[in-house]
Amino acid sequence: MTHRSILLKIYRRLNECYGPQHWWPADSSFEVMVGAILTQNTSWANVEKAINNLKEVNALNIHTLIELSEENLAKLIRPSGYFNIKSKRLKNFAHWFETEGRFNRLKELDDQTLRKRLLKVNGIGPETADDILLYAFERPVFVIDTYTRRLFKTLNLISGDEPYEALRQYFESSLTPDITLFKEYHALIVRHAKEKCTFEKSCLHCRVESPLQI
């Protein structure tokens, strides 16, 4: 079995168990970017509460995020956890986004250049940058998160401690660049991580993680 066929087999298992996820839930590309920063080290349920707080006071836009004090912004995003840190990160990102010419200017950059610029923003690491690239800018990058490491380690396909870039390249070089596939694959892995194993024949968790015939 090639790497491609193995990865696609796992994708089909996930899709058969959970169906299309249609992730990322957002009303705009800018909301995706804000959500990508807020979701660091927390659950999406908490992020939704923080985003709703921003929407309620019409603060989910570049102008207001720049104008808001870090203290007031932190209060609004408190449900997301680490709110003081994330407030600084959102402010850093908002100023960078404005300086770079916002979405229309940034979308003209090639994938590699845009990724490099995102990674220079204080508070944006590889996973957050790739979330933004894939879901906001529609670029074919594969997001590596803790859930991805956990699942593929369970399937004995990785050791689990590989560098982020090594795993990203593994997926991207094995699969055809496909934005829709990469989105669904990542979303399905996250969905799988939320499911509880019942150790029964009908357990979806066990169906996904059953040994592969390689």
Q: What is the CATH number of the domain that holds 64?
A: 1.10.340.30
Give the pLDDT band (50/70/90) at residue 214. low
Cα separation, 48 vs 27, in Å, equals 12
Q: What percent of the chain has pLDDT over 70?
A: 100
Half-sphere exposure of 36 (CA within 13 A, CB side): 27
Question: How large is the greatest C-alpha to C-alpha distance in the chain, in angstroms?
Answer: 56
Q: Is the pLDDT of residue 199 over 90?
A: no
Q: Is the pLDDT of residue 36 over 90?
A: yes
Last residue of a domain, one of 118, 136, 154: 136
Q: What token pair was written down for 67? A: 């104008």
45-51 long-range contacts (CB < 8 A, ≥24 apart) are 46/79, 46/80, 46/81, 47/79, 47/80, 49/79, 49/80, 50/76, 50/77, 50/78, 50/79, 50/80
Query: What average pLDDT does the chain have?
Result: 96
Q: Is the pLDDT of residue 163 over 90?
A: yes
For residue 77, how many other CB atoms are within 10 A of its CB? 25
Q: Are residues 34 and 123 in the same domain?
A: yes
Alpha helix (H) ranges present in the chain? 3-18, 29-38, 44-56, 62-67, 70-76, 83-99, 102-106, 111-119, 126-131, 146-154, 164-174, 179-194, 204-209
Question: Would 214 be classed as within a structural domain?
Answer: no
Count structural domains, the chain. Answer: 2
Q: Are residues 113 and 168 in the same domain?
A: no
Read off the pLDDT of residues 17-27 as tens digits, 9 standing for 90 and up: 999 998 999 99
Give the pLDDT band (50/70/90) at residue 48. very high
Q: Are residues 186 and 161 in the same domain?
A: yes
Q: Are residues 52 and 100 in the same domain?
A: yes
Q: Is the pLDDT of residue 213 over 80?
A: no
Read off the pLDDT of residues 50-85 as tens digits, 9 standing for 90 and up: 999 999 999 999 999 999 999 999 999 999 999 999
Question: Would 172 be classed as within a structural domain?
Answer: yes
Q: Is the pLDDT of residue 99 over 70?
A: yes
User: Domain range spanning residue 48?
Assistant: 29-136
Mean pLDDT across the stretch 164-189? 97
Predicted pLDDT of residue 156: 95
Q: Are residues 64 and 86 in the same domain?
A: yes
Give the pLDDT band (50/70/90) at residue 200. confident
Q: Are residues 114 and 154 in the same domain?
A: no
